[in-house]
A and B are shown apart, each in its own frame.
Chain A
Amino acid sequence: GQQLNQSPQSMFIQEGEDVSMNCTSSSIFNTWLWYKQDPGEGPVLLIALYKAGELTSNGRLTAQFGITRKDSFLNISASIPSDVGIYFCAGRTATGFQKLVFGTGTRLLVSP
């Protein structure tokens, strides 16, 4: 199945550091979503983006819809141990109806 390229694959950082991850595609997307998944649980929606160039924040999280519409970025500021998990981007193409295409995930580990 189709998947988005997400990088980095994993990150191990110290508490208090800022984190950046991105998601790229060869296709144009009309919607970008960012999810966090804890082990054995379902993904939790963090941020939704609907317009190219849009920058949206949710607490310490900030995400941007790339102006080319082929990428998106997620930043986490001042990381804390509970930020540990797998972060997935998801996108919807113009012809994809409600189908979301998911990224391969970025595993984040935070050392206290």
Chain B
Amino acid sequence: EAGVTQSPTHLIKTRGQQATLRCSPISGHTSVYWYQQALGLGLQFLLWYDEGEERNRGNFPPRFSGRQFPNYSSELNVNALELEDSALYLCASSLAVSSYEQYFGPGTRLTVT
């Protein structure tokens, strides 16, 4: 069974640009989560989507947004990029709203110059 996949693996942008990151959950999983992991730091919760709806968001500015598609894949958009947005962005999925076991993808390394 395929795990969570993310694309692209690496993304280089300049300050002020927009970045779009993509995630495909494990087959059968309906919930998708996004986390930011800055270099040397732990994971910070960004967003949670389930059944196409945003269910919860972490303490991040509105320029971090996303959506979930009918096939449960998800996009994370980061507008007006700032240097401190450089980080590993991790997507995770879980079987259902009632499942707390989240399975992670390999991440997208975003570098803002």
Interface residues of A (CB under 8 A from B): 1, 3, 31, 33, 35, 40-45, 48, 50, 88, 90, 92, 97-105
Contacts and interface: CB of A to CB of B under 8 A. Distances in A.
A100 B90 contact: no
B105 interface: yes
B43 A98 contact: no
Interface of B: 4, 31, 33, 35, 41-45, 48, 50, 55-56, 58-59, 90, 92, 94, 97, 100-107, 109
Given A1-B59, A97-B56, A42 B45 contact: no
Nearest to B3: A42
Nearest to A32: B100
Contacts, number: 68
A42 B105 contact: yes
Residue among A1, A3, A50, A105 with most chain B CB within 10 A: A1
B42 A3 contact: yes
18 contacts: A31-B100, A41-B107, A43-B104, A44-B104, A45-B103, A48-B100, A90-B43, A98-B50, A98-B55, A98-B100, A99-B45, A99-B48, A99-B56, A100-B33, A100-B43, A100-B100, A102-B44, A104-B41
A42 B106 contact: yes
Residue among B33, B56, B102 with most chain A CB within 10 A: B102
B56 A105 contact: no
A43 B58 CA distance: 19
Going nearest first, the 9 A-B pairs with the smallest beta carbon separation are A42-B104, A102-B43, A102-B42, A1-B44, A31-B100, A43-B104, A99-B45, A42-B106, A48-B101
B104 to A, nearest CB: 4
Contacts of A100: 33, 43, 45, 100, 102
A42 to B, nearest CB: 4
A98 B90 contact: no
B43 A43 contact: yes
Given A33-B101, A48-B101, A41 B106 contact: yes
A61 to B, nearest CB: 15
